[in-house]
Amino acid sequence: MPAIKTAILSFGMSGRVFHAPFIALNPGFELVGIWERTQSASLEFYPNIKIYRSLEEILNDATIQLVIVNTPTNTHYEYTKKVLLSGKHAVVEKAFTTTVAEAIELNNIAIEKKLKLSVFQNRRWDSDFKTVKKIIEEGWLGAVVEAEIHFDRFKEALSPKLHKEIPGPGAGILNDLGPHLIDQSLSLFGMPTAVYAELRIMRPNSVVDDYFELLLSYADKVVRLKAGYLVREPIPAYIIHGTKGSFLKSRGDIQETALVANQKPDSPNWGKEPVEEEGLLHTEKEGIVIKEKIPTEIGNYASYYSLVEKAIRENTAMPVSGYDGINVMKIIEASFKSNTDKKQISLNQ
């Protein structure tokens, strides 16, 4: 079966670390080329690919079937719309768009054109999150009543990626790290009924939000999502409490670190966390109290692209659908409004 011919729109960290390695190693795809406006850095890693100098070159290349839109967030709507209207499938980096309306329009275009559209929410395939999901789904905690998910870093310096640090659509930590936490929460618990948000600027030289706390309300539980850049000593990234017990887990996935170091995702022990990162389960089963460390699941972002291939070939659902992307954008948009209005915002289901 012919490989799915694929192009990537950028070879910054996203393209080099999160997309190209998995596309290149999956025999179901052929990495045809990458858009680099002036440089040809990708040829060092993939010497047989084509360098495109403009988006139009990719759109006019009839052989390209799938385009990875991994440019700055404020370009996602424009570029993805052009990709879909040219008849090509699209994978879009997070944040999906800058507004709910943009997300809905892109999803509608994909449906009308009978094309596949997915948002790249790779953190669903983190080892830590996979473990948390398994513990919840297997019923070890009973009914979840409270959950807290963090994405904490200690990074006082501003990012060299100026589109993240200059005020405007798509900038700030809520658009950067927020989609990871929101998507993980929605995949575990579904859409909340309301959201309350507090966004702040914590770093001395920052002019965009670099801290957030979201409180997602459900009929039977509360979920807190937090991220900040001034957390030198992080607490567990996942704190889940249920009617039977609790599970605490660090954010221990090693894939990003390995990819940044140019390790290939087919290397031995790929996605295997160190034993010391195992989560703590404290619960009760059949009248017996259990308090023990739980082996961590294996993380693997390759699973995402395997599902993308299947969706394109067999017309199955994409691993993270346009509807999923819309729901994340609903939370982000409501969070900005909540922070401005200083009140809880109801979400229309």
CATH code at 161? 3.30.360.10
85 with 157, same domain: the answer is: no
Checking if the pLDDT of 44 tops 70, the result is: yes
Q: Within this chain, do residues 186 and 251 fall inside the same structural domain, yes or no?
A: yes
pLDDT of residue 19: 98
Q: Which residues are paired to 6 by β-bridges?
A: 31, 66
- Phi, psi (rounded to 5 degrees) for 35: -80, 115
Asked if 216 and 289 sit in the same domain, the reply is yes
DSSP state of 172: S
Beta partners for residue 279, in sequence order: 294
Structural domain boundaries, residue 111 = 4-122+304-320
The C-alpha atoms of residue 25 and residue 334 are separated, in whole angstroms, by: 39
* Better pLDDT: 134 or 349: 134
Q: Would you state the pLDDT for residue 161?
A: 79
Q: How many domains does the chain have?
A: 2
Residues 76 and 142 in one domain: no
Residues 8 and 35 in one domain: yes
Contacts of 317 (CB under 8 A, 6+ apart): 311
Number of Cβ within a 10 Å radius of residue 146: 13
Q: Tens of pLDDT along 11-22?
A: 999 999 999 999
Q: Tokens representing 212? A: 């957030």
Does the structure show a pLDDT above 60 at 51? yes
The reply to whether 326 falls in a domain is: no
Please, is 71 exposed, middle or buried when counting C-beta atoms within 10 Å of its C-beta (0-12, 13-18, 19+)?
Answer: buried
The answer to whether 249 and 236 are in contact (CB under 8 A) is yes
Q: Examine the pLDDT at 349 and tell me if it is beyond 70.
A: no
Whether 55 and 16 share a structural domain: yes
Same domain, 117 and 155: no
Q: What is the mean pLDDT of residues 207-226?
A: 97
Predicted structure pTM score: 0.96
Domain with residue 62: its CATH number is 3.40.50.720
Per-residue pLDDT reduced to its tens digit, 223-240: 999 999 999 998 999 999
Chain centroid to CA 121: how far? Answer: 3
Same domain, 213 and 313: no
Judge if 20 and 138 occupy the same domain: no
Q: Share the mean pLDDT of the chain.
A: 96
181 located within any domain? yes
Residue 325 has pLDDT above 80, yes or no: yes
Residue type, 234: P
pLDDT of 317: 97
